[in-house]
Amino acid sequence: MKRGQVPFTRSEAGLIRLISGWLAGQDRDRRLIRGIGDDCATVRLRGGRLLLTSDAFIEGVHFRRDWMKGWPAGWKALAANVSDVCAAGGAPGAALVSLELPPAFPVGWLKDFYAGLLACARKYRIVIAGGNIARGTKVAVHIALAGEAPEHLIGRAGARPGDLLAVTGSLGGSLAGLLCLKKGLRGTVARDAINRHFLPLPDPGVGRALAGFATAMVDVSDGLVHEASLLAAASGVRIAIVPGAVPVHPAAWLLAPVFRKDPAELALSSGEEYELLATIPQRRFHKAARALSLRGFALTPIGEVRRGKGVELVGGGHITARGFDHFNK
């Protein structure tokens, strides 16, 4: 693929590759410990090693205001960034909130948004240091989060053939919640799923613990198969997933028939899950699982790392479960 000729809106990953190429000259800068390609960047500033990450939360793309009140929107916009810091095994620190708001906008929604944002900030000991406000045509929230990097950096690269692939918690609940919103479903189970979609609860302690055992780690923000393929590409390995082994969120199990979907299909393609996907040497897996269970978290082996490239669903399965790509619909 020749640069400049790529119709880049075809794929988010292709676009990120282009940008990485344009910025490659920076690699010699000693302050840049890790640049583009992981959930967080790592830089050296004022002598310390910082994690930096940013995420967008855009009306009409990431949420709809008629579905989502301000409070969960504020929570989720920040929690998505916290999840990136968790995937880097670090601790969140300070955030900047850059807002686009339409000219005629209800202050009530914004007040709720800041209440949710602040609740999330309190839970994760983040200070909302400042930000920016600009006029836009819709609500868009761009949050940048600075955090403290761990001793040993972990990212997408590092998985080795023979490692187990494991995921924390369970998957599919967020997509089930989104489908409930789309179909206007109510009731206890639907509410569980919607809560899962609205209120992610990443756990920096889990990220830190897992980082001590894993060879590579990402958060499941854009779907399991999608994230596994990024991890495989960055590590130069092939990742085999056993679809039946993927832990399915209880609400996704119960709701799958309603949506005429296979529970495993929901679990494989659900994005915005903010669980962690890690590759772990086989002999260290049990220690890792024990460390997580002490924090009340499950760690489930769902496949393994092999030689080669790409993602393989063991036993066939639909490889349509692709996750979310901003430019490839």
Binding positions for a copy of itself, 50-89, rule CB under 8 A: 50, 52-56, 58, 60-62
State in angstroms the smallest separation of the CB of 138 from a copy of itself.
7
Size of the site for a copy of itself (CB under 8 A): 79
**Which listed residue (144, 157, 242, 245) binds a copy of itself by CB under 8 A?**
144
**Which listed residue (26, 187, 287, 294) binds a copy of itself by CB under 8 A?**
26
Angle at 37 between CA 35 and CA 43, to 5 degrees: 25
Tokens 């509410």 sit on residue: 191
- 328 dihedral zone (left: phi>0; alpha: psi -120 to 50; beta): beta
Does 103 contact a copy of itself by CB under 8 A?
yes
Count other Cβ atoms within 10 Å, centred on residue 46.
5
**Which listed residue (69, 110, 298, 322) binds a copy of itself by CB under 8 A?**
110
**Which listed residue (69, 98, 208, 258) binds a copy of itself by CB under 8 A?**
98
**Quick one: 42 or 215, whose CB is closer to a copy of itself?**
42
In this structure, the dihedral spanned by the alpha carbons of residues 211, 215, 219 and 223, taken in order and rounded to 10 degrees, is -160
Asked whether 86 and 205 are in contact (CB, 8 A), the reply is no
In DSSP terms, which residues pair with 143 in a beta bridge?
55, 97
Does 326 contact a copy of itself by CB under 8 A?
yes
Stretch that binds a copy of itself, among 97-105, 163-171, 174-182, 195-203 (CB under 8 A): 97-105
Asked whether 194 and 63 are in contact (CB, 8 A), the reply is no
State in angstroms the smallest separation of the CB of 222 from a copy of itself.
11
Helical (H) or strand (E) element with 240: strand 238-241
